[in-house]
């Protein structure tokens, strides 16, 4: 098992309940695919240097995880679907 870090950025107009749901969703995804969430850091609502799709801010969630290639592939696939 290797250690990885993964940062998700959620839209600025989401409620705190929605951000918590995203965090729970990815924790479950990692834990169900032979991975382990070591730590989740909620960096909060931060400004972007440049606009991204007309957004100037985003909620940052930083995951520190332990897992293998299967775990990373599932995170990658799920992130593509959630865009």
pLDDT tens-digit profile of 12-56? 999 999 999 999 999 999 999 888 999 999 999 999 999 988 999
pLDDT class of 78 with cuts at 50, 70, 90: confident
Least confident of 3-7, 52-56, 62-66, 79-83: 79-83
Is residue 37 within 8 A of residue 71, CB to CB? The reply is: no
| pTM, full prediction | 0.86
Whether pLDDT at 4 is above 80: yes
Q: Which residue has 């440049």 as its token pair?
A: 50
Residue 58: strand pairing partners: 11, 46
Compute CA distances 56 → 24, 33, 73, 82, whole Å: 25, 33, 29, 19
């Amino acid at each position: 098992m290797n250690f990885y870090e993964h940062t998700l950025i959620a839209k600025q107009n989401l409620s705190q309940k929605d951000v918590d749901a995203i965090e729970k969703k990815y924790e479950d995804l990692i834990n169900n695919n032979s991975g382990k969430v070591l730590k989740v850091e909620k960096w909060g609502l931060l400004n972007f240097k440049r606009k991204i799709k007309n957004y100037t801010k985003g909620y940052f969630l930083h995951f520190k995880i332990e897992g293998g290639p299967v775990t990373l592939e599932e995170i990658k696939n799920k992130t593509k679907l959630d865009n």
